[in-house]
Amino acid sequence: MRRLTVVTVIALVLVWTSLGWAASSLLGPTGLLKTPTADVLGMTEFTVGLTQVWADPHEDETLAYANVGVLPKLELGFTREDMEDERAESILNAKVRLLGPVPGEITVSGGVVDLTDEIDCSPYLVASHTLGAGLVTKFGEAAAPQLHIGLGGGRYDGLFGGVSTIVKRKVTLMAEYDGDDFNFGARMPVGPRLEATAAALDGMDDLAIGLQFSNPW
């Protein structure tokens, strides 16, 4: 029943929003759903957002975050994690681009989620690459999938990765393995500089909805 509800909500959000800055993951740092990518916010760019996760009984979670590009290759962020029946924690995140971006080549970044180990310090290294010239959808539109592969500790539990692609020039479809489970979702614009994300997490067991605002200063 939960899986049917998750799929139904995602479908409704996609229909409603069907009417290129780096985007934050549901956890805060730029990325897919729960995993980071090699994308880094540009200098003085920022994102702020809110995520609600509906999980097993007494495991619902609310996250609020803010990220800013403080240097051309450095992104710093803050996330407030509030899990049901547990004390809320505030964590600091950082990511630096080590290689790229160069058209046709791999971009590599390294970072840490929870720098001060308030919950689970999670260092990682991740590479992103646009696959070839892209694919053609059944509507005749070009879509260039991006592949993301990383290795991390803490919440990432070893190897993680995912793929993302943009369809209808608006909607970003995402699938990932976070080191423990598979997650699927979509991100789409709902207003000027405003994006919404709908996702099925932890093997389709949990549902997450996120909203983020992004803008350069």
Contact 31, 39 (CB under 8 A): yes
Q: Does the pLDDT at position 57 exceed 80?
A: no
Q: Does the pLDDT at position 14 exceed 60?
A: no
Rounded to 10 degrees, what is the CA torsion of 107, 65, 179, 69? 10
Contact 39, 128 (CB under 8 A): yes
Count other Cβ atoms within 10 Å, centred on residue 147: 16
* Window from 88-92, 95-99, 142-146, 193-197 with minimum mean pLDDT: 142-146
> Which whole number is the average pLDDT over 36-65?
92
Distances (CA, A) of 39 to 57, 108, 134: 34, 8, 19
Closest CA to 163 of 174, 152, 151: 174
Higher pLDDT, 215 or 68: 68
Contact 22, 45 (CB under 8 A): yes
Q: Does the pLDDT at position 15 exceed 70?
A: no
> Which whole number is the average pLDDT over 54-73?
90
C-alpha span between 112 and 131 (Å, rounded): 26
Contact 22, 31 (CB under 8 A): no
* Window from 9-18, 47-56, 78-87 with minimum mean pLDDT: 9-18
pLDDT at 175: 97
pLDDT at 59: 81
Q: Does the pLDDT at position 178 exceed 70?
A: yes
Closest CA to 186 of 159, 208, 205: 208
Q: Does the pLDDT at position 104 exceed 80?
A: no
Distances (CA, A) of 2 to 6, 91, 144, 176, 204: 6, 30, 32, 20, 8
pLDDT at 217: 52
Q: Which residue ranges form the domains of the chain, and what is each CATH number?
A: 2-216 (2.40.160.40)
C-alpha span between 142 and 93 (Å, rounded): 34
What's the pLDDT tens digit per position in 117-164?
Answer: 999 999 999 999 988 655 665 655 556 789 999 999 999 989 999 999
> Which whole number is the average pLDDT over 193-207?
93
Higher pLDDT, 20 or 62: 62
Closest CA to 151 of 127, 168, 176, 130: 127
Count other Cβ atoms within 10 Å, centred on residue 199: 27
pLDDT at 133: 58
pLDDT at 136: 61
